[in-house]
Amino acid sequence: MSMTEPGTKPGTEPRTARSIPDQPGFCDACAQRTRDLHRAAERSGILRAVFAGRADRLGYASLLRNLLAVYQTLEAALDRASGHPVLGLLPRAGIDRTPAIAADLEVLCGPDWRALALLPAGAGYARHIATLGRGDPERLLAHAYVRYLGDLNGGQILARRLEVSLGPRASALSFHRFPASADPADLRACYRAALDRAGAELADPAAVIEEAAAAFAWNIALSDAVAAALPPADPAPPAPAAGP
Ligand code: HEM
């Protein structure tokens, strides 16, 4: 039986990433496309403060509260796509972040974390992922690349910077911990390889690489929105009156 689709001339079959051996792998292609956006993300709103060791408890908790909605939506969509020819190739055990984020919110705020605002930027990011899950699930591969590979890379740096901002409380946080592997570098390499294998099965790799850029834009918007929603820092205490 011919594998050529009806109406396609032999030898002109649609080319998937797998059929183009000289192309960079999915992750390298995403990294090239998003290099400038990555730099912008590092310098954006609350992430800049976390990196500088200046994020306070409320600011970081607000970021987590919004990321909780994002990961809940992404992980529920990946659950539903477990038989999908691309998404079904992603490992999940030890990778999912929803339980760790919920636990960190309890550490930072106790049950009051539920009063933290889900900002339009966070709700919009989660809604975008839900829409893709229903209509264009392949593109979720880009969101898995941006979030989980980000958590396994820069997230490890941010965890150390949080110790500067939050003090001993930071040692109880688990968002950036991946206990499934003794060395995050091993998990990072395994997950990156799985993303590349899944990326080789994409029907439209260019669209999914472009979606990685959109995912970065959502993260930048969220980081800026979290910083903008914080109450202004306490003004410096007045200078003591000059003595007689
Ligand atoms: C202050 C914030 C951040 C710092 C310090 C940081 C730092 C890093 C570092 C050092 C790497 C490894 C680069 C390499 O191997 O060449 C990396 C990779 C990565 N980061 Fe970030 N990052 C930050 C924010 C973000 C954000 C907000 C995202 C997306 C939500 C993100 C997504 C990624 C991804 C997807 C990679 C993997 C690139 C690849 O291997 O293809 N990063 N980051």
User: What pLDDT score was predicted for residue 234?
Assistant: 61
How many whole angstroms from 87 Cα to the centroid of ligand 1?
Answer: 22
Q: Whose CA is nearest to atom 33 of ligand 1?
A: 150
User: What pLDDT score was predicted for residue 235?
Assistant: 60
- Other CB atoms closer than 10 Å to residue 48's CB: what's the count? 16
Ligand 1 nearest atom to the CA of residue 146, by list position: 35
Instruction: List ligand 1's pocket residues with C-beta within 6 A.
Output: 27, 30-31, 38, 41-42, 47, 51, 145-147, 149-150, 153-154, 157-158, 192, 216, 219
Residue 183 identity (one-letter amino acid): D
Nearest to 64 by CA among 106, 95, 124: 106
Lowest mean pLDDT among 131-140, 149-158, 229-238: 229-238
Q: How confident is the model at residue 153 (pLDDT cuts 50, 70, 90)?
A: very high
Share of the chain above pLDDT 70, in %: 86
User: What is the C-alpha separation between 143 and 229, in angstroms, rounded?
Assistant: 25
Domains and CATH numbers, the chain: 26-228 (1.20.910.10)
Nearest to 133 by CA among 85, 78, 53: 78
Share of the chain above pLDDT 90, in %: 83
User: What pLDDT score was predicted for residue 109?
Assistant: 98
Q: Whose CA is nearest to atom 31 of ligand 1?
A: 150
Reply yes or no on whether the pLDDT at 157 is more than 50.
yes
User: What pLDDT score was predicted for residue 9?
Assistant: 36
pTM for the full predicted model: 0.89
- Other CB atoms closer than 10 Å to residue 181's CB: what's the count? 16
| pLDDT digit string, tens, across residues 66-96 | 999 999 999 999 999 999 999 999 999 999 9
Cβ neighbors of 6 (< 8 A, separation 6 or more) are none
